[in-house]
Amino acid sequence: MPAENALHHVFLPRLPVVQVAGVVDVAEARLLDHLGVDLIGFPLRLDVHAPDLDEAQAAEVIRAAGISGKSVCITYESDPARVVALCQGLGVRLVQLHGPVQAEACRRIKEIDPGLGIMKSIVVGRDGDMARLYALLSAYAPFVDAFITDTFDPATGASGATGRTHDWVVSRALTQAAEALDRPLMLAGGLNAENVADAIRAVRPWGVDAHTGLEDGSGRKDPDKVRRFVEEAHAAFSVFRKFTSYDSEWPFHRP
Side chain identity, residue 178:
A
Residue 201 DSSP class: H
Question: 13: cis peptide before it, omega within 30°?
Answer: yes
Residue 173 CA to residue 150 CA, distance in Å, equals 14
Give residue 251's pLDDT. Answer: 40
Give residue 246's pLDDT: 44
pLDDT of res. 216: 95
pLDDT below 50 — which residues of the chain? Answer: 1-3, 11-13, 243, 245-255
Domain 7-242: CATH architecture, name and number where available: Alpha-Beta Barrel (3.20)
Question: What pLDDT was estimated at residue 158?
Answer: 52
Alpha helix stretches (DSSP H) within the chain: 7-11, 26-34, 55-65, 80-90, 103-112, 130-140, 168-180, 196-203, 223-240
pLDDT of residue 11: 47
- Going by C-alpha positions, the residue among 88, 91, 146 that lies closest to residue 118 is 146
The pLDDT, as a whole number, for residue 47 is 75
Please state the length of the chain.
255
Quick one: pLDDT at residue 173?
92
